[in-house]
Amino acid sequence: MSDTLAGLLQVGALIAALALCWRPLGDYIAHTLTTTKDLKVERGIYRLIGVDSKSDQRWTVYAASVLAFSAVGVVLLYALQRAQDHLPWSLDLPGVDPALAFNTAASFVTNTNWQAYSGEATMGHLVQMAGLAVQNFVSAAVGICVAVALIRGFVRSQSDRLGNFWVDLVRVVVRILLPLSVIAAVLLIGLGVIQNLSSGTDVSTLVGGHQTLPGGPVASQEAIKELGTNGGGFFNANSAHPFESPTPFTNIVENFLLLLIPVAMTRTFGTMVGDRRQGIAVLAVMTTIWGSLVVLVTTLEVNHHGTALQAAGAAMEGKETRFGEWASALFAVSTTGTSTGAVNSFHSSFTGVSGGGLLFNMGLGEVAPGGVGSGLYGMLVLAIMTVFVAGLMVGRTPEYLGKKITSREIKLVSLYILATPLIVLIGTAIAMSFATPRASMLSPGSPHGLSEVLYGFMSAGNNNGSAFAGLSANTTFYNVALATAMLLGRFVPMILVLALAGAFGRQQKVPATQGTLPTHGPLFIGMLTGVVVIVAGLTYFPVLALGPLAEGL
């Protein structure tokens, strides 16, 4: 009973804290991305990079800017890792292997933060700070930029301009991510998360042995890791490591940080389109899905079906005792629903069906509430599909936020919905077809082995970054294959979203009529929830039936 009460209090406190910040932060983000005034430091950056802050870009130029900026990020991060042994604060670690360096560069630039390595044994402090942490900021900012460009497509009329990517990028980093990260880092330091440049401290153990405790600038990276829905841990154990999250309170604080911006951006959306009811409707769908999965996964973990788990008295294998089943399940649902690779427990240790629930959560497209920016634009694409389906039912041209959904728009939406499942399922099929990648599974020939591989490609294709454990992914095949899945899973959907924004922006807004479907009421919320669940369910149900569902049954 005490565990149940503590778990309910944690969930309640998390929801209350998010509700308290939803309005002020959402409105602040909207103001930041709509104001015409530049800060002095921003004007200096624009002069340095040669950008006119008053100029707007067509969707093709905006997309090209996104791709060019990200491509440069991959090259620079790759070079930084390869040259690590020649850099200061390398901790005498060698340069990173080429395949692993490519995988890691693609991972952090795409906001995936998949880690096929042990952080404390592979990356020096400079690479962590100047490479990985920098990408934690800018990759998160890119997602917000694309979401705002789509919103501008709804707002603007007969315009082929979506704003300026470089201005959006600078403003998001300078005005939103940096200030929030400073506040979060100071808070985490106060709560016991370490922050230093130590190469390690030698200590004596209780049994008379010696051990080196690693150090590093952890709190600062932990802050942007969660706020940017990145998830890449400074240490191999990620948020289960006591230096990253020492107490149950820091665990709930980090859970709050990773949900904060995706939740607040629903308010940003409503504010920018001039109808805050639209943002509330999107938030209601996200909350319904997130809450349902929290209940499902927690219930399955607490009841711990299975002979071994019942004999042990709890499903605590792979979980931290300071967090327990409730906090582990809550964190797992939040991370798999927000494109955050952070974990405070081994997802492979969850019961069969609840592990399938985490896979399903990623399979929804990570829209509940999703990554920073990517969750919002993913949900808006599904909202467009919902309106289109409703229009077919009543035999009229569907409209969303005053813009008609024609064949051009629905083709882009369809390609968006199909892109990630194709990447995930084709990658999984290739890995399961050859002996070398199958040899990396801990449980070959079993449903759990299929789940390990499926989770890897699901995590990469959806830019999540969490791992199921059991899969030895630091091989040439998986480093290259998963990096390819990350890059395609990030930028193909982004290009389609920007093309969709350009198509809507060129349209003239049409007034609502009696035949227009209201997109802010309970009916639309229910329809959109159904579309999100059914689209993912129909796509992934066959492979889930062969993996986690077969294991659970």
pLDDT tens track for 252-273: 999 999 999 999 999 999 999 9
Q: Which two tokens stand for residue 183?
A: 């506040």
Residue 305 banded pLDDT, cuts 50, 70, 90? low
Give 92's contacts (C-beta < 8 A, 6+ positions apart): 85
pLDDT at position 304, please? 64
In 364-443, which residue ranges form alpha helices assigned H by DSSP?
374-394, 407-433, 435-438
Contact yes or no for 144/371 (Cβ under 8 A): no
pLDDT tens track for 121-131: 899 999 999 99
> What is the domain partition of the chain in residue ranges?
2-204+213-261
Residue 309 banded pLDDT, cuts 50, 70, 90? low
Least-confidence region, from 54-58, 161-165, 390-394: 390-394
14 or 516: whose pLDDT is higher? 14
What b/e string do you get for 450-478 counting C-beta neighbours within 10 Å, with b at 16 or more?
A: bbbbbbbbbbbbbbbbbbbebbebbbebb
205 or 529: whose pLDDT is higher? 529
Q: In this structure, which amino acid lies at residue 161? A: R
Q: What is the mean pLDDT of residues 176-196?
A: 97
Least-confidence region, from 243-247, 353-357, 532-536: 353-357
Give 303's contacts (C-beta < 8 A, 6+ positions apart): none
Q: Which residue has the tokens 């191999």?
A: 236
Residues in the chain: 553
- Dist. CA 323–CA 246, nearest whole Å: 10
User: For all residues of the chain together, what is the average pLDDT?
Assistant: 91
pLDDT at position 444, please? 78
- Dist. CA 287–CA 290, nearest whole Å: 5
pLDDT tens track for 470-516: 788 889 999 999 999 999 999 999 999 999 999 999 999 888 887 78
**pTM of the entire structure?**
0.94
Q: Is 15 helix (H, G, I), strand (E, B) or coil?
A: helix
pLDDT tens track for 50-95: 999 999 999 999 999 999 999 999 999 999 999 999 999 999 999 9
Beta-carbon count within 10 A of 24 CB: 11
Q: What is the mean pLDDT of residues 358-380?
A: 92
Q: Which two tokens stand for residue 289?
A: 């899905």
DSSP E strands in 303-416: the ranges are 399-400, 403-404
Residue 306 banded pLDDT, cuts 50, 70, 90? low
Percent of the chain residues topping a pLDDT of 90 = 70
pLDDT of 250 over the 90 cut: yes
Q: Is 509 helix (H, G, I), strand (E, B) or coil?
A: coil
pLDDT tens track for 130-160: 999 999 999 999 999 999 999 999 999 999 8
Beta-carbon count within 10 A of 126 CB: 16
CA 229 to chain centre: 5
Q: What is the mean pLDDT of residues 419-442?
A: 90
Percent of the chain residues topping a pLDDT of 70 = 97
Q: What is the mean pLDDT of residues 425-445?
A: 87
pLDDT of 541 over the 90 cut: no
